[in-house]
Chain A
Amino acid sequence: MNTKLNRILFGAFILSALIFSSCKKTEQAVSPPLPGNEFLTTIKWRFQNISNPHDTCWAVWRDSTVLNKPYKDTLKPIARLRANSTYALTVHIYDETQTPVNDITQEIGVQRQNYHLYFFYNSLGLCGVANQDATTNPANFKVTREDHDSNNPPLPIGLTDQVTTTYTVNGSSSYCTGYLRHQPNSKNGTFAPGSTDSQVQMQIVIY
């Protein structure tokens, strides 16, 4: 009797141990895209001559596909810069679908600096080489990024820069394209990882 009871109880324990050990459950949570995300409707480049602070200009690009208002002054975003000069360049980013207008520059440049990087690519008409990274020592319109994030090691952000001009250019083929790259868990200083949040083309006149 005792032996039979022992066997039953021991068998029950083995069975329960198997149930416990086989109970492997996957836990998962998903955060899907949310509607009504913010728009980067407006990009402004502000140039200020290092030698002459009064020599300041803005090139302003607006996304006409999102904004219904007419912005005649920015249909052709143009920056007029002096040759053989150095300018402080700051990039400003806004969402003008909001009222009041939402300035996203700080958000991207401070809170989200570790996974954003702004790139400048020069046209053939601007520097003599097509689609040249403006930070890699082009013949004209050289950009040096001056702001850095808190990654380890720090990587550039690109919203605060210095631009050096060399020779005069004019015309619609002389332009610089700005890309705001969003590189979550992948920013490494290069263009490749991530996706483009904003792409704008500014005509550059150097006289």
Chain B
Amino acid sequence: MAASFISYAAFAQDDANTGKAKSFIGVTGGYSNLMGNITKSDYSNNSSGYANAMGYNIGVEGAYYLNKYIGIGGLFSFASFSAANLQTMSDGYKQDFDVDSISVTVTTKYNFYNFFVGPYFSIPIKKFTIDFRAVGGLTLVYTPEFDVNVVDGGKPHPFAQNISSGTGFGFQAGAGIRYSITNHIGIKLNADYYYTDPNIAIQNSNRVIVAGRLLTNYHEAITMLNINLGLAYQFGK
């Protein structure tokens, strides 16, 4: 797993030829901690998302520096979280349908795709650099499919909350420290706060009657804390 936190990023070391910080491109990845109602598992509360708070993110980022400290950068990242605490959902449906048994199965995940741009500010101190960034843009969110099998009198009556998607504005802001291993390669550690508020139209299939928990729309603020390691290639000398 240690390898999973290694990413390929490049850094804004001062380029002796131009006087600008070095532009870079690289990859990043690490642990994501999801927060907000999406992680709740209260059956009777439709803002509950049944998402696992622990997940991961990976991404590609780059920045072009205008001078020694300030640059414009972009980030394309992907974050993923499994479903969790499904027992309350299963028990809730069993109560609401008054049946012999219920099973809830989830084989897909909450997936977040982010396309962000924004300013980078870097302070080089010898081989170390302290970085600050605030990027924002489009977020595309996919919800997992919840397959519910209602069994009564030995007969199955299945239905599903299908994979659904929505878009919204998102942003990520954070700080990090990086260390230059060689002239072109460096590693870094970042911590970022992430926010998005997507509007997701939830699709359902085979809901024959009006009973039990039913989501048709999910519009909740979603936040997460990302702690990443990165590896980068920097341009210039």
Contacts and interface: CB of A to CB of B under 8 A. Distances in A.
A31 B94 contact: yes
Interface residues of B, number: 55
B101 A30 contact: yes
Contact of A28 (B101, B106, B150, B152): B106
Contacts of B4: 16, 19-20
Contacts of B153: 182, 194-196
Nearest to B159: A185
A151 B209 contact: yes
A10 interface: yes
Interface in A2-28: 2, 5-6, 9-10, 12-13, 15-17, 19-20, 24-28
A137 interface: no
Contacts of B5: 16
A86 interface: no
A188 B208 contact: yes
Nearest to B56: A20
A16 B6 contact: yes
A182 B7 contact: no
A29 B182 contact: no
Interface in A70-99: none
A148 interface: no
Given A29-B103, A115-B98, A186 B210 contact: no
B184 interface: yes
A29 B8 contact: no
A6 B84 CA distance: 38
A16 B29 contact: yes
Interface of B: 1, 3-8, 27, 29, 56, 58, 80, 82-84, 86-87, 89-91, 93-94, 97-107, 150, 152-155, 157-159, 181-185, 206-212, 231, 233
Interface of A: 2, 5-6, 9-10, 12-13, 15-17, 19-20, 24-33, 112, 114-115, 149-152, 182-188, 193-196
Given A2-B185, A28-B106, 16 more contacts: A2-B183, A5-B182, A9-B231, A10-B231, A12-B3, A19-B3, A27-B106, A28-B104, A31-B87, A31-B103, A115-B211, A183-B209, A185-B212, A188-B208, A193-B157, A195-B153
Pairs of residues from A and B, 8 with the lowest C-beta to C-beta distance, nearest first: A195-B153, A16-B4, A29-B86, A185-B157, A29-B90, A184-B97, A31-B94, A29-B87
14 contacts: A5-B181, A5-B182, A10-B231, A13-B29, A16-B4, A19-B1, A20-B80, A24-B107, A26-B107, A27-B107, A29-B104, A30-B90, A151-B210, A193-B157
